[in-house]
Chain A
Amino acid sequence: MKRFPWLALIMLVLGVGVGVFYSWFIAPAPIQETSPHTLRADFKDELRSLIAASYASSGNLERARARLALLGDADALAALNAQAQRMLAADEAFESVQQVARLAADLQKPPPEPASTATRLPTRTSAPSSTRQTAFVVPVTAQTTETIIPEQIIEPPATLSTPTPRPTRTSTPLPGRAYELIAQDTLCEAGLQEGLLQVLVTDARRKQVAGAEIIVTWDGGEERFFTGFKPELGNGYADFVMQVGVLYTVRVGTGGAPVTNVSPPGCLAEDGASYTGAIRLSFQQP
């Protein structure tokens, strides 16, 4: 009876171990053909800013959404809000911060309804050439006499046999209606910072809106900030500290109806002492 080739089997297993060790630790495959989700955090920030700048120019929300998805963030909206906050803290250009915040705000809008019943879905897929995990999907919508919702799927681009033209960009989504003041509350509560102006922004469905720009102006000054930077208080929340004796005008976005003569209210404590209270303004899209 012939003996089982134990030695050959052991050598085979040993060889596999040596090969894997060499290819993982000594000479790993060179870095090439990576996808955006593997980028370093600061490059992801750069990419988010660029996506926002590109969106500000093209108005193509679906394309921006698809590009953000490639970054692999668990919550793209939170990532954008956090980045806007970091940009503000780093004193980056207001225009850039605004673009990021606007994209965050627009991402919360429901997708637009198709313009007509005709729908076409051209798809393009190239043959994969290597180990690739994520497909690159850039859906784009166009609003013309018919709706074209093409979807481009590009896997590894080594050999492209049947190219299908990419779709042209969509028209800019219609902006929502201007926010209006629905409530103004004086807050005389212990623990609140004196002169605090709280702003709460909701959309037409009473859902809090992150990334809404709040513009506060007063005689000789202006301050702009965004909702959503204190998510623990709500995505549509933002605040600002007012000075006693100064009258402020507050509005949401450049087209919002201004609320004038806002100033810190006076409050009376139980012992009769007076102190400065806070104000809450609630804005909603009609």
Chain B
Amino acid sequence: MSRWLAPLLALLIGIALGLVYGWVVSPVEYVDTTPDTLRADYRADYVLMVAEAYRTEQDPALAARRLAILGSQAPGEIASQGLEDARRIGFSEADLDLLQKLTTAMQAWQGETP
């Protein structure tokens, strides 16, 4: 029994090391990803870009279409999430103001759209 204990333990330790290496140290790098998998700060910056463009274009349908590539939620929710992340990350007041305006516009637009 004790003869097999050491190899068995070694196998388990090896598996654990292999898993740590494959999941944490050198995880699979994905390519051709979709925007909904972007890290929170990149998503927040994407929403900020939409907000910056919306400030001039004033086209809520276009802004909603741009936000839609970040996920299947309603545009108002995506904008609101972007605003929340931006606050957490520490965007400037001017940027937060733009995001707030976009969020409000998206929520109003959703209300108008059947």
Residues of chain A whose beta carbon lies under 8 Å from any beta carbon of chain B: 5, 7-24, 28-29, 31-36, 38-41, 43, 46-47, 50-51, 53-54, 56-58, 67, 70, 124, 126, 131-132, 136, 138, 154, 156-157, 160, 163-169
Residue of B whose beta carbon sits closest to that of A51: B49
Using an 8 Å CB-CB cutoff, how does the interface string of B56-70 with A read, 1 for contact, 0 for none?
A: 110000000010010
Distance from A17 Cβ to chain B, minimum over Cβ atoms (Å): 7
Given contacts A8-B6, A160-B89, A166-B90, contact A18 B45 (CB under 8 A): no
Give complex CA distance A164, B91 in Å: 8
Q: Dominant SS at the B interface?
A: helix
Residues of chain B whose beta carbon lies under 8 Å from any beta carbon of chain A: 6-25, 27-35, 37-42, 45-46, 48-50, 52-53, 55-57, 66, 69, 85, 88-95
On whether the beta carbons of B66 and A19 are closer than 8 Å, the reply is no
Count how many pairs of residues, one from A and one from B, have CB atoms less than 8 Å apart in the complex: 186
> B39 to chain A: which residues have CB within 8 Å?
33-35, 132, 156-157
> B38 to chain A: which residues have CB within 8 Å?
33-36, 39
Give complex CA distance A8, B7 in Å: 4
Residue of A whose beta carbon sits closest to that of B25: A131
Given contacts A31-B33, A157-B88, contact A11 B69 (CB under 8 A): no
Distance from A92 Cβ to chain B, minimum over Cβ atoms (Å): 13
Distance from B96 Cβ to chain A, minimum over Cβ atoms (Å): 8
> B17 to chain A: which residues have CB within 8 Å?
15-16, 19
Distance from A33 Cβ to chain B, minimum over Cβ atoms (Å): 4
Interface centre among A41, A58, A138 (most CB of B within 10 A): A58
Distance from B46 Cβ to chain A, minimum over Cβ atoms (Å): 7
Given contacts A19-B22, A35-B39, A154-B41, contact A124 B32 (CB under 8 A): no
> A10 to chain B: which residues have CB within 8 Å?
7
Closest 8 CB pairs of A and B: A19-B18, A15-B14, A23-B22, A163-B90, A166-B92, A57-B56, A53-B53, A8-B10
> B14 to chain A: which residues have CB within 8 Å?
11-19
> A57 to chain B: which residues have CB within 8 Å?
52-53, 55-57
Interface centre among B32, B46, B90 (most CB of A within 10 A): B90
Give complex CA distance A132, B24 in Å: 11
A-B contact pairs, 25 of them (CB 8 A): A11-B7, A11-B14, A15-B12, A16-B14, A19-B17, A20-B19, A22-B15, A23-B27, A29-B22, A36-B38, A36-B42, A39-B32, A43-B69, A53-B57, A54-B50, A57-B52, A131-B27, A157-B39, A157-B41, A157-B88, A160-B89, A166-B95, A167-B92, A168-B94, A168-B95
